[in-house]
Amino acid sequence: MDYGFTEQQQEIVNLARAIAQKKIRPVREHYDQTEEFPWPIVEELRKVGLFGVYLPEEVDGLGGGNLELVLAAEELSKACGGIALCVATSSLCALPILLYGSPELRKKYLPDLATGKKLGAFNITEPGAGSDATATKATAVLQGDHYVVNGIKNFCSTGKDADTYVIFATTNPNRGARGISAFVVEKGTPGFTFGKKEEKMGIRANGTYELVFQNCKIPKENLIYKEGYGLFIAQLTFDYSRPGVAAQAIGIAQGALDETMSYIRQRKQFGQSISSFQAIQHMMADCATQIEAGRALLYATVRAMDASNGPAIRKAMEENKVVADCMNELDTKRWTKESGMVKVFCSDTAMRVATDCVQMCGGIGYMRDFPVEKYMRDAKITQIYEGTNQIQRNEIAMMMIKEAASKSKKDLVAA
């Protein structure tokens, strides 16, 4: 389907597609098996500037928006969702700095994340605080010019291989959710080390690590925005980033279907190609329909988000202000419901499509030396991270109830 991309958006698709097909596809099995970090691919992505497609030119990005980011993520994920993840985690680190960081913090950290010179990671999860981030136990105590951070964060994607981390810790345990704050931490800061590396089902080209903080001193300028704003920062970041997970999911689903189509056209049983059986054709048709529906929802959502967020981002750059403050000044819409919807729809689609692709390929689909089972393993995480799909549904329903309440209040006033 023609989605009417600009020349620059089409160029991003072409660049990402070329790297995915020529560079990632031939090596994805190696990285899946060895769990090594794919540095040669990172180098390719750096060369063409794919890390910063969504960041403003003022911080060395390409000046695009969320649509540009999801286009890159989708194309890369068609070849390998695990390798593509390094772009997504860098954006997950850059976004809180872009949205809530001071102009100084933006200038200090975003250019290197935009060019890919440095990789980023984001860690809110803790062993006791998964879906419930309000249970954060890591602490950050202000002592003079520094915050002293203690605690364990876990399940950090691009864990050991990033350079810049956005982490969350409580600056006031008595205030619960309102006591959590967000910080930028650099790798190599004394007291910041790496713990356990997880052994995973999928996205194995991207290491998932525990981050350990023991009396780690972070300059107080590295607090993002203000103390106690951590969960607001995380929420606005996720509103922006969940479509990226959806893009990863759509890429994985399309990649699985493409591999399946090549196989089922040449595989013969009962003297004919298995793609001539109606049972297989209906599965193919359902997979393609669900993928296209997800893609259409994804592009429509991020286009609307870009149109709404763009003016606040531009205002903040021009007037040297914080983007979130400009969003408040301009009364910019919040996208929690829509970004949750697109994440739920596309990730559920990816899991269904990848599972059906294994089914269409039969026994070979289940084998490690055939690429389709990897898509199924990689698809699963898209239903879990950046908030499980149960949590997304909770948030969608909560927003629906709020909207209905405010509508009936307005109706009452009008009547």
Q: How far is CA 248 from CA 86, 167, 191, in A?
A: 11, 23, 34
Beta carbon of residue 155, minimum distance to ligand FAD (angstroms, whole number): 4
- Told to check if 235 binds ligand FAD by CB under 6 A, we report no
Single out the residue of 200, 303, 315, 321 in contact with ligand FAD (rule: CB under 6 A).
Answer: 200
The site that binds ligand FAD (CB under 6 A) totals a number of residues, namely: 22
DSSP states along 130-188 = SS-GGG---EEEEETTEEEEEEEEEEEETTTT-SEEEEEEES-GGGGGGGEEEEEEETT
Piece of the chain touching ligand FAD by CB under 6 A; list 2-10, 338-346, 363-371, 377-385:
377-385
Our finding on whether 181 is near ligand FAD (CB under 6 A) is no
Asked if residue 385 binds ligand FAD (CB under 6 A), the reply is yes
Distances (CA, A) of 40 to 37, 83, 157, 161, 275: 9, 11, 18, 13, 37
In angstroms, give the least distance from the CB of 118 to ligand FAD: 16
Binding mask 148-167 for ligand FAD (x = CB under 6 A): -------xxx----------
Of 269-277, 303-311, 314-322, 385-393, which part binds ligand FAD (CB under 6 A)?
385-393
Structure tokens at 132: 């419930």
Question: Considering the rule CB under 6 A, would residue 257 count as an interface residue with ligand FAD?
Answer: no
Nearer to ligand FAD, 138 or 287 (CB): 138
Place of tokens 């359902």: 286
- Smallest gap from residue 210 Cβ to ligand FAD (A): 11
Q: Which candidate in 68, 227, 386, 395 is catalytic? A: 386
Pattern 130-149, binding to ligand FAD, x per CB under 6 A? xx------------------
Do residues 139 and 126 lie in contact, with contact meaning Cβ atoms separated by under 8 Å? no
Has 11 been annotated as catalytic? no
Q: How far is the CB of 237 from ligand FAD (least distance, A)?
A: 11
- What is the 3-class SS of 272-316, one letter each residue? EEHHHCHHHHHHHHHHHHHHHHHHHHHHHHHHHHHHHHHHHHHHH
Per CB under 6 A, does 394 bind ligand FAD?
yes
CA separation for the pair 219, 231 (Å, rounded):
21
- Measured between alpha carbons, how far is 280 from 300 in angstroms, rounded to an integer? 30
Q: List, in order, residues 6 or more apart from 193 with CB less than 8 Å away.
A: 211, 212, 214
Site residues, ligand FAD (CB under 6 A) = 89, 122-125, 130-131, 155-157, 200, 203, 208, 381, 384-388, 390-391, 394
**Active-site residue set:** 386
